[in-house]
């Protein structure tokens, strides 16, 4: 009997990351491609996803008939029961039936969930959040996502629309967010939010090494790290502002949930690591109750770029065990 495989996909604002898992939960092949989300149609995103799956199968030599499930994430609000991406702030997907499109293309059972929900689930099952029972996850990427493990269960809310922690309104007069609201955590702390701040400062005549990067989109996390190392004042301000609002949000969430762990992940965290977390730690105590704070740990996700991929693996195993 031939070995069976699972394909897992991380569909983000700037890339699609794919991985093939064997029966031992080992990644036997992976591929990353830039997505074409900005200003393009859902059809273009779909073509990138399809090409990642097809190329992985071709390069690995694995037959489609040996793949028992494909699981993916998408940023935004997902109807997980029906596999429909209802809304995503940073990709051109509205009421997109992702499951129907992918099952029609590949003839393989397909499942999709919110990206950070799955990222937190991946860390809870296989990474830094193992052994914890109540976890607040905050992932800083192109957007700003959140996820919750409450009493050892992934919390998704009514109709899977819960845990949109990145869209907590912290300043109703603040910058416009991709979701249509003003002053969301995402508008301050995500790469999109930081890039918008840098563009604003450059438009006022200030200089930044990231000016070419953000002119028509968002910077790459590695470029941000280089700009900070070079003493880029505007980039430093963007990071300080990001950390400030993340500390405000995390402190508030600590007061609401009293978790045993607040977990930070995403591309920015992966690139800046302790540098970013230290800045959050210097402020967070100001925004949560002193009686609650000592019982809460703050950690960085340890699966890196693979947090969501492993969450997709967990989703596929819950949907099709074995």
* Residue 42 scores a pLDDT above 70: no
Residues 192 and 186 sit within 8 Å (Cβ to Cβ) = yes
Mark out the alpha helices in the chain (DSSP H runs): 42-60, 98-106, 115-126, 185-189, 191-203, 211-214, 221-229, 233-257, 267-272, 274-284, 307-319
Give the per-residue pLDDT at 36.
59
State the pLDDT confidence band at 37, using cuts at 50, 70 and 90.
very low
- The DSSP secondary-structure symbol of 294 reads G
Confidence of residue 82 (pLDDT cuts 50, 70, 90): very high
For residues 96-111, average pLDDT = 96
CA distance 74 to 72: 7
| Domains of the chain by start residue, with CATH | 5-118+306-319 (3.30.420.40), 128-302 (3.30.420.40)
3-state secondary structure of 113: strand
Which pLDDT value is given to residue 273? 82
* Contact assessment for residue 138 and residue 262, using Cβ atoms and an 8 Å cutoff: yes
Q: Is 50 exceeded by the pLDDT of residue 289? A: yes
Please check whether residue 170 is in contact with residue 184, taking contact to mean a CB–CB distance below 8 angstroms.
Answer: yes
Would you state the pLDDT for residue 2?
83
Return all residues near 84 (Cβ < 8 A) that are at least 6 apart.
78, 95, 96, 97, 98, 99
Q: What is the mean pLDDT of residues 100-106?
A: 96
Whole-angstrom Cα distance, residue 108 to residue 112? 13
pLDDT above 90: residue 35: no
Task: State the average pLDDT over residues 50-78.
Answer: 95
Q: What strands lie across the sheet with 110-114, from one edge to the other?
A: 27-34, 15-21, 5-11, 67-74, 110-114
Tens of pLDDT along 257-283? 999 999 999 989 989 988 899 999 999
Identify the pLDDT of residue 274: 87
Query: Averaged over 94-107, what is the pLDDT?
Result: 94
Q: What is the mean pLDDT of residues 98-109?
A: 96
Residue 39 has pLDDT above 50, yes or no: no
Q: Write down the pLDDT at residue 94.
A: 87
pLDDT score of 40: 47
Size of the chain in residues: 322
pLDDT at position 131 over 60? yes
Pairing state between β 135-140 and 261-265: parallel
Chain centre distance of CA 71: 15
For residue 38, the model assigns a pLDDT of: 47
Mean pLDDT of 10-28: 91
Among 90-99, 180-189, 245-254, 307-316, the least confident range: 90-99
Give the pTM: 0.89
217 vs 247, residue with greater confidence: 247
Percent with pLDDT over 70 in the chain: 97
The pair of three-digit structure tokens given for residue 205, joined into one six-digit string: 């005549």
Residue 137: predicted pLDDT: 97
- Residues 266/221, Cβ–Cβ less than 8 Å: no
What burial class does residue 47 get, using C-beta atoms within 10 Å of its C-beta: 0-12 exposed, 13-18 middle, 19+ buried? Answer: middle
Torsion of CA 265, 269, 273, 275, to 10 degrees: -130
Query: How many angstroms separate the CA atoms of 198 and 200, rounded?
Result: 5
pLDDT of residue 321: 86
Output the average pLDDT for the chain: 93
Token pair in block for residue 260: 């045993």
CA gap 169, 190 in Å, rounded = 14
pLDDT above 90 covers what percent of the chain? 82
């Amino acid at each position: 009997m031939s070995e069976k495989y699972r394909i897992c996909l991380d569909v983000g604002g700037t890339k699609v990351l794919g991985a093939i898992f064997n029966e031992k939960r080992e990644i036997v092949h992976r591929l990353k491609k830039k997505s074409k989300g900005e200003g393009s149609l859902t059809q273009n995103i779909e073509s990138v996803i399809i090409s990642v799956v097809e190329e992985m199968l071709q390069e690995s030599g694995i037959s489609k008939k040996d793949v028992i499930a494909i699981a993916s994430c998408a940023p935004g609000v997902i109807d997980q029961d029906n596999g429909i991406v209802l809304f995503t702030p940073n990709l051109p997907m509205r009421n997109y039936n992702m499951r129907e499109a992918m099952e029609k293309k590949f003839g393989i059972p397909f499942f999709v969930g919110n990206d950070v929900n799955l990222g937190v689930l991946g860390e809870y099952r296989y990474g830094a959040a193992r052994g914890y029972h109540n976890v607040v996850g905050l992932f800083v990427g192109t957007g700003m996502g959140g996820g919750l493990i409450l009493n050892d269960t992934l919390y998704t809310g009514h109709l899977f629309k819960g845990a949109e922690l990145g869209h907590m309104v912290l300043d109703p007069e603040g910058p416009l967010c991709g979701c249509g609201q003003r002053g969301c955590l995402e508008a301050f702390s995500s790469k999109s939010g930081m890039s918008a701040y840098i563009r604003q400062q450059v438009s006022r005549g200030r200089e930044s090494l990231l000016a070419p990067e953000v002119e028509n989109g968002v910077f790459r996390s590695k470029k941000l790290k280089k700009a900070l190392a070079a003493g880029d004042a505007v980039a430093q301000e963007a990071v300080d502002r990001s950390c400030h609002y993340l500390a405000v949000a995390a402190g508030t969430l600590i007061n609401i949930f009293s978790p045993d762990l607040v977990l930070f992940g995403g591309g920015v965290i992966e690139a800046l690591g302790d540098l970013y977390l230290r800045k959050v730690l210097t402020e967070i105590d100001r925004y949560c109750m002193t009686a609650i704070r000592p019982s809460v740990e703050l950690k960085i996700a340890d699966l890196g770029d693979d947090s969501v991929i492993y969450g997709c693996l967990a989703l596929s195993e819950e949907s099709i065990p074995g």
